[in-house]
């Protein structure tokens, strides 16, 4: 469980905020699962919210983040109409929410890897999810890619298909999608780990990756049948019984 009073010390969010091609790419896989009452856990500075909200059928969008500064920034963006009017903000963790509140979609975009007790997190998320609703996870993939960057921004782990299935094992979830994205990004991450050993990429490196390498990944990932990449995407649907 994440401390509701914590201050996020990572510095990567502004760097990746303008990675438009990457955000457009992963949103193309998950937008169809977003509808109705939607919860975005760990919304940060809202860099994913506008795009995902605009390409979905969400009627209400709750932005949840334990960081006070992020929460205030999100409220300001809503007041200035830089985020859609269906958005609202709560400062806290998912455990701050009453389990009587139900959502049709719950999003974890680069969040679960920061949470110590990830299984407990998902268990409570399921309590908040309507039957037939979708739980969407996007996280860094493969522990062999862990680097100083992961340490700098507080990643506790990276996931692969086996480990994410272990987290969800025994929960009332039906697996809908489980794939890897950004194959070229995985190679770049490995290069950074072996040769550069950077804590943070530069803005020029992010621009280069987003402008050129993501576009290559769009083609290469499909050729590889989404079996390799620096990011794992999981989508589950809540079901009535463990076995149906």
What's the pTM?
A: 0.93
161 located within any domain: yes
Residues 6 or more apart whose Cβ sits within 8 Å of residue 150:
140, 158
Higher pLDDT among residues 61 and 201, named by residue? 61
127 located within any domain: yes
pLDDT tens digits, 37-55:
999 999 999 999 989 998 8
151 located within any domain: no
- Total tally of structural domains belonging to the chain: 1
6 located within any domain: no
Residue 227 confidence class, pLDDT cut points 50, 70, 90: very high
pLDDT tens digits, 134-145:
999 999 999 999
12 located within any domain: no
Tell me the mean pLDDT in the region 182-191: 95
Residues 6 or more apart whose Cβ sits within 8 Å of residue 229:
141, 179, 180, 181, 182, 183, 185, 186, 217, 221
Domain with residue 46: its CATH number is 3.40.50.150
Q: For residue 134, which phi and psi values (nearest 5 degrees)?
A: -115, 140
Distance CA 227, CA 200 (A): 26
175 located within any domain: yes
81 located within any domain: yes
Q: Could you tell me the residue range of the domain that residue 23 belongs to?
A: 18-142+156-182+226-238
pLDDT of residue 148: 87
150 located within any domain: no
């Amino acid at each position: 469980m994440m401390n509701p009073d914590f201050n996020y010390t990572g510095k990567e969010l502004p760097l990746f905020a303008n990675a438009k091609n990457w955000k457009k790419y992963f949103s193309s896989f998950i937008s169809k699962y977003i509808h109705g009452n939607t919860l975005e856990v760990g919304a940060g500075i809202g860099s994913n919210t506008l795009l995902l909200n605009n390409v979905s059928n969400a009627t209400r969008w709750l932005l949840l983040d334990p960081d006070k500064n992020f929460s205030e920034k999100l409220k300001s963006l809503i007041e200035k109409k830089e985020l859609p009017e269906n958005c609202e903000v709560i400062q806290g963790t998912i455990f701050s929410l009453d389990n009587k509140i139900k959502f049709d979609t719950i999003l974890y975009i680069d969040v679960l890897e920061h949470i110590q007790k990830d299984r407990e997190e998902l268990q409570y998320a399921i309590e908040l999810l309507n039957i037939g609703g979708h739980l969407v996870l996007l996280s860094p993939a493969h522990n062999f890619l862990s680097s100083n960057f992961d340490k700098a921004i507080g990643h506790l782990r990276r996931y692969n298909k086996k480990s994410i299935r272990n987290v969800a094992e025994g929960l009332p979830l039906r697996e809908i999608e489980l794939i890897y994205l950004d194959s070229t990004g995985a190679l770049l991450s490995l290069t950074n780990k072996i040769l550069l050993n950077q804590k943070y990429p530069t803005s020029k490196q992010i621009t280069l990756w987003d402008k050129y390498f993501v576009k290559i990944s769009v083609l290469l990932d499909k050729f590889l049948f989404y079996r390799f990449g620096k990011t794992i995407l999981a989508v589950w649907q809540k079901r009535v019984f463990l076995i149906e």
